[in-house]
């Protein structure tokens, strides 16, 4: 029989205490002020290159795996692609002005690897380098700090075709070369770097994007997510090693990694369901955080996966431990966890739940865990934010965390919902207000949180959902010149961020 560690109960007790405090802030809609946050707390918005840039064949850019994938008939729900996305490549100055008008401190965006290295390595595309130079300089000119992510899923297709992509260990050194070029070109102005965005999500949800195999699968589905994740962790460690050895002292920046984590609440008080929740949280957080902090994978996964989970050499473990200055956290929702001894049917779409021997459930006794957003997976559960932050604090010695994505969407399946219906997004205002209330509660309870980035600045290409889901603070009219129109949430953020910043020390 499994035994749940003391850490689980510590998290549960501390979550209860802080959630009771955070609920007060979550209920006072409209009461949040900039002065509720400590000095230096960063507010910003997030996007990624493939989702907003467009210009897929312009400026010397090479194809990425998502170009290949999105052009396959039937793969994207509305049959769209990121060829034009939000056209930010041509409209970046307008978007910088929009952020400045809101009063945002920072913009988290990703660099398109194939825009820098069209073939994945070798020849540098100077047009791509100059595009990011212009974007970075425009942000700084308006007082907005660039936060740059090196990898947000758009692997150069050339590396998938020639190497097998992330399944090949050779990619570690190639990623290091790409990262070093970015540090050298942009690090004099970029002071916050993220290596990878959501290793957990990309490895379990999209491991075969860009795969040209007739079966649509490149690798053994039983091992594939863990091998890809292992090589990504090694690539992260390599990039951090290069940055710290060659750039950090003179550029005076920081580097981290961005993880995704939803909260899993046991659906009952039965020990088997508590254990199921613990296993799912291990796959969400411990799989990646344990190597970064302790240099090895968690025992709770090793005991079940055995040799399907790779191992680190002694030197790799040493380099991995402590290889971050901050952790980026992407959090949106929470679900119930229920024990499922056999797991769902093993397939390329159910590896995580099968291996965790657990079911992810949206409702208990017919009552949803939270209101339904536009996406079927996104239930609005503000208290889950507090529990995830508490878990990081208890299990990993309270690392510096930035909320690098948090947001909510509405459906617009064929782009036919009248704009006026979408522009009044009071539910989004309530969402950000309530989640921020739990962020404040966590900080007052000791969590080390340094900032909050809304996903997303713009309605954009939402991967498999195409343009059918809208997460943006700004409505983008994709049928009429990509016009940006502010939703009500823009005015709310503008009011929040224009309140005076706190000048004294943050106290509870």
Q: 3-state class of 337 per DSSP? A: strand
| Secondary structure, 3-state, 383-412 | HHHHHHHHHHHHHCCCCCEEEEECCCCEEC
Enter the DSSP assignment of 460. -
**Catalytic residue, candidates 316, 405, 410, 462:** 405
Residue 147's DSSP bridge partners are: 108, 192
Distance (Å) of CA 233 to CA 158, 241, 258, 399, 459: 21, 12, 12, 18, 30
120 vs 158: CA distance, rounded Å: 6
Residue 265 is a catalytic residue:
no
Q: Are 351 and 281 in contact (CB under 8 A)?
A: no
What backbone torsions phi and psi does residue 91 show, to the nearest 5 degrees?
-115, 20
29 vs 67: CA distance, rounded Å: 41
Structure token pair of residue 248: 């950090």
Residue 485, number of CB atoms within 10 A of its CB: 15
Residue 341, number of CB atoms within 10 A of its CB: 8
Listing DSSP states for 8-55 in one string gives HHHHHHHHHHHHHHHHHHHHSTT---GGGS-TT-EEEEE--HHHH---
Distance (Å) of CA 345 to CA 123, 337, 341, 357, 435: 44, 17, 12, 11, 34
Structure token pair of residue 485: 């129109």
Residue 455's DSSP bridge partners are: 46
Q: Are 404 and 453 in contact (CB under 8 A)?
A: yes
Structure token pair of residue 105: 């401190």
* Tokens 């090793």, located at residue: 302
Residue 314 is a catalytic residue:
no
Is the N-terminal amide bond of 456 cis, ω within 30° of 0?
Answer: yes
Of residues 456, 440, 488, 450, the one with CA closest to residue 32 = 440
282 vs 273: CA distance, rounded Å: 14
Beta strand 254-260 with 192-197: parallel, antiparallel or unpaired?
A: parallel
**Catalytic residue, candidates 53, 185, 198, 352:** 198
Q: Are 479 and 80 in contact (CB under 8 A)?
A: no
455 vs 409: CA distance, rounded Å: 9
Cite the active site residues: 198, 405
């Amino acid at each position: 029989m499994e035994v749940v560690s003391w850490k689980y109960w510590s998290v549960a007790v501390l979550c209860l205490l802080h959630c009771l405090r955070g609920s007060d802030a979550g209920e006072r809609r409209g009461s949040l002020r900039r002065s509720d946050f400590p000095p230096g707390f960063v507010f910003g918005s997030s996007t990624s290159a493939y989702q907003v840039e467009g210009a897929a064949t312009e400026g010397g850019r090479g194809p990425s795996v998502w170009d290949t994938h999105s052009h396959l008939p039937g793969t994207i729900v509305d049959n769209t692609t990121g060829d034009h996305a939000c056209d930010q490549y041509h409209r970046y100055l307008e978007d910088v002005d929009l952020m400045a008008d809101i009063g945002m401190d920072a913009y988290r965006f990703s660099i398109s690897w194939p825009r820098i290295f069209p073939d994945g390595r070798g020849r540098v595309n100077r047009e791509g380098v100059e595009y990011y130079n212009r974007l970075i300089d425009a942000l700084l000119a308006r007082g907005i700090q660039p936060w740059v992510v090196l990898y947000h899923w758009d692997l150069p297709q050339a590396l998938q075709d020639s190497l097998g992509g992330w399944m090949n260990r050779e990619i570690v050194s190639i990623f290091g070369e790409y990262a070093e070029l970015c540090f050298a070109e942009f690090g004099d102005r970029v002071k916050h770097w993220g290596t990878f965005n959501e290793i957990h999500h990309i490895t379990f949800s999209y491991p075969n994007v860009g795969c040209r195999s007739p079966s649509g699968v490149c690798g053994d589905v039983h091992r594939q997510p863990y091998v890809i994740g292992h090589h990504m962790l090694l690539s992260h460690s390599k990039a951090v090693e290069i940055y710290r050895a060659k750039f950090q002292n003179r550029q005076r920046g920081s580097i981290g990694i961005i993880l995704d984590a939803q909260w899993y609440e046991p659906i009952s008080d039965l020990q088997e369901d508590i254990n199921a929740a613990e296993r799912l949280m291990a796959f969400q957080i411990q799989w990646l955080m344990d190597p970064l902090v302790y240099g090895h994978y968690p025992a709770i996964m090793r005991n079940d996966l055995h040799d399907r989970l790779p191992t680190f050499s002694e030197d790799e473990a040493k380099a991995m431990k402590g290889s971050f200055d901050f952790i980026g956290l992407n959090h949106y929702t929470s679900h119930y966890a229920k024990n499922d001894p056999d797991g769902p049917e093993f397939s390329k779409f159910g590896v995580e739940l099968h291996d965790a021997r657990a079911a992810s459930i949206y409702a208990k006794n017919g009552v949803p865990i939270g209101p339904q957003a536009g996406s079927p997976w996104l239930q609005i559960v503000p208290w889950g934010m507090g529990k995830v932050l508490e878990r990081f604090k208890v299990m990993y010695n309270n690392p510096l965390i930035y909320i690098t994505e948090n947001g909510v969407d509405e459906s617009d399946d064929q782009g036919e919902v009248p704009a006026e219906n979408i522009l009044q997004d009071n539910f989004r205002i309530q969402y950000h207000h309530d989640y921020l209330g739990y962020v404040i509660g966590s900080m007052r309870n000791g969590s080390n949180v340094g900032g909050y980035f809304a996903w997303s600045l713009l309605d954009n290409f939402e991967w498999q959902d195409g343009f059918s889901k809208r997460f943006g603070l700004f409505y983008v009219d994709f049928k009429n010149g990509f016009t940006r129109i502010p939703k009500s949430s823009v005015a709310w953020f503008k009011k929040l961020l224009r309140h005076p910043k706190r000048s004294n020390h943050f106290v509870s």
